[in-house]
Structure 1
């Protein structure tokens, strides 16, 4: 996907930038490749820097209110200071590593409802910074993710929604300031006990932490509550595993409460929030470390025309 935007701060006749991705489809741990094409305007211009960044939409809490904003979570400097002559054309190739924890946006060739991801080009010139346009990026699951998601599908779970929550999961080694929740309506065989299930992957180079949260129904004498389970699997050998049996076992352990033994401490479970207090402050600081990071109210669906795509599995 190609975008081209004249820098409004410079007016007509200024330099333009055109970023081209060789392939907008990728997976966690892989690389996005392409080139940044510059064209000089009517006069020479001193470029301060060009950077690329991955940005996505994240759900946040502030007091009693919730809102969505755009967060930059990975940045790659493309070039430092340079002078672009009038009419000069310059092409700069790049390779942007995709973080292992990058959330999944597409499954079975379909965009997960609720997910957006973009590659933003920043060109700074004469103290004017442009962060306007985005290339849409599609992040597909790794084999282990795909097997687990397929097992949920085979067990009869129906996809509901996916989103990103700002914060850290207690007890899980996490590098990004948010985590993904993939939500399912309960399969028939679980529906008398569970309303919904949320699935979270926290991935690294060698393994994946799988966090399952079950919204349990209340009984005659007890109210409904959430139960949590954390399970770890390796990337290697995923083809030889009976994932339907494994995931069914995880779900039964989580529902019964045994799965929560994998956690370390927590407040009533994993503490999926940690959105306020000390951890919230640490998250905010990390976000601001990426050139401002969090831009409340700047929604990616506006940039992409408001189309998040369809649900996977034909739902």
Structure 2
């Protein structure tokens, strides 16, 4: 075996490569993600110590920056959050041009962002190869609301509200460093003319769907304010829906809550 080929493989040239196939077109938070991992041998044999998978997303955070003039400014940067990680204990040697396949079922965290608007979620697959650049694969995922959240969205849409923007924003006092904000605008129905926009933050665990609301009646708007209010504990419009509730009932309860508290 050529020492030169080994050296190239350690730099990632002619090394093994990995492709991950996701079997579902649409995923639901809290549900399963079924994948098939295909490993293709390179030009030399290589030892694989592990197969590591990372579920990732983007979120936005405001940070202070200095430009050398002693004045601090705030700027918005994009951060990456690892929502979950898995290590598959497969240690083996893959020969040159050999192909291997492994299957895995992974559980998506409840608070995996829904991929509408600017929200992006992806799965990274890494091969742990000693003394070499780790080959990796990146696959974009489509995540849709679970039935309870879908019931809330359906009720809001029937009441004349439309989603205008969805963003993952940095927030404190949560298990994750961010929350996902849904911004709605009334285009018809009972809230048209009363509100400028409605912001909702949702946080889910095994027992309940937690919702925070902020209503804006002003003309200048407050986009992105909800996550900062959560961090300061100033938000009072809070509703908790048990996970066993019927989706239609959840939507009706949200509308009733908004009518009573706005």
**If the TM-score is normalised by the length of the shorter chain, which range does it land in?**
0.7 to 0.9
Change (3 A) 1:150 1:253: same
Superposition RMSD on alpha carbons, in Å?
A: 2.5
Q: Which has the larger radius of gyration?
A: 2
Does the Cα contact within 8 Å between 1:214 and 1:254 map onto a contact in 2?
Answer: no
For 1:127 and 1:228, locate their aligned partners in 2 and report how far apart those are by CA, in whole Å: 54
The equivalent of 1:34 in structure 2 is 35
Given the alignment of the two structures, is residue 87 of structure 1 paired with residue 88 of structure 2, yes or no? no
For residues 35-50 of structure 1, the aligned pairs below 5 Å read 35-50=36-51
For residues 126-165 of structure 1, the aligned pairs below 5 Å read 126-130=130-134, 133-165=137-169
Does the Cα contact within 8 Å between 2:83 and 2:109 map onto a contact in 1?
Answer: no
The equivalent of 2:12 in structure 1 is 10
Does the Cα contact within 8 Å between 2:18 and 2:136 map onto a contact in 1?
Answer: no
**Ranges in structure 2 where 5+ consecutive residues have no aligned partner:** 1-8, 65-73, 220-224, 227-234
For 1:240 and 1:228, locate their aligned partners in 2 and report how far apart those are by CA, in whole Å: 24
Does the Cα contact within 8 Å between 1:122 and 1:129 map onto a contact in 2?
Answer: no
TM-score, scaled relative to structure 1: 0.66
Deviates more, 1:233-242 or 1:138-147: 233-242
For 1:56 and 1:186, locate their aligned partners in 2 and report how far apart those are by CA, in whole Å: 29
Q: Count how many residue pairs are aligned between Structure 1 and Structure 2.
A: 231
Residue of structure 2 aligned with 1:235, choices 243, 253, 258? 243
Change (3 A) 1:93 1:181: same
Given the alignment of the two structures, is residue 74 of structure 1 paired with residue 84 of structure 2, yes or no? yes
Give the C-alpha shift of residue 242 in structure 1: 7.1
- Which whole-Å deviations, capped at 9, do the CAs of 1:280-312 have from their partners, x for residues lacking one? xxxxxxxxxxxxxxxxxxxxxxxxxxxxxxxxx
Give the C-alpha shift of residue 82 in structure 1: 2.9
For residues 238-277 of structure 1, the aligned pairs below 5 Å read 238-239=246-247, 241=249, 243-244=251-252, 246-255=253-262
After TM superposition, what 4+ stretches of structure 1 lie above 6 angstroms from structure 2?
none
**Ranges in structure 1 where 5+ consecutive residues have no aligned partner:** 1-6, 106-111, 219-224, 256-315
TM-score, scaled relative to structure 2: 0.79
For 2:98 and 2:250, locate their aligned partners in 1 and report how far apart those are by CA, in whole Å: 58
Give the C-alpha shift of residue 156 in structure 1: 0.7
The equivalent of 2:222 in structure 1 is none
For 1:59 and 1:28, locate their aligned partners in 2 and report how far apart those are by CA, in whole Å: 21
Change (3 A) 1:49 1:132: closer
- Which whole-Å deviations, capped at 9, do the CAs of 1:257-283 have from their partners, x for residues lacking one? xxxxxxxxxxxxxxxxxxxxxxxxxxx
For 1:177 and 1:208, locate their aligned partners in 2 and report how far apart those are by CA, in whole Å: 18
- The secondary structure found in structure 2 opposite 1:150 is helix
